[in-house]
Amino acid sequence: MAQIIVYGAAASLHRNRARLSDAIHGAVMTALAYPPEKRFHRFIALEPEDFVHPSDRGDDYTIIEISMFAGRSDGAKRQLIQELFDRI
């Protein structure tokens, strides 16, 4: 099971939540063979004072944290990362 937490600026996450969730879940289904009904995402929308990051990051700077049980191959993890980059 993969659990996903997405952190970002509140305005950006509210604007992009559905597209991000679709992209993330599509990547998980492809790379980890998850069924469509196993979507499990938590979005943590942060106010500017709660999201300190380098000034060279834009307003849509987003952090995606993925936790998985041990046992996934390195190949599956690499495929998941590539799928995320391709879709997002």
* pLDDT for the residue numbered 68: 87
Domains of the chain: 2-87 (3.30.429.10)
CA distance 25 to 32: 10
DSSP, collapsed to helix, strand or coil, labels residue 77 as: helix
Report the pLDDT averaged over residues 6-20: 96
3-state class (DSSP) for residue 33: coil
The rounded distance, in Å, linking the Cα atoms of 23 and 18 is: 9
Question: What are the tens digits of pLDDT across the range 39-78?
Answer: 999 999 999 999 998 999 988 999 999 998 888 899 999 9
Instruction: Mark 35-59 as b/e (b = at least 16 C-beta within 10 Å).
Output: eeeeeebebebbeeeebeeeeeeee
pLDDT at 86 over 90: yes
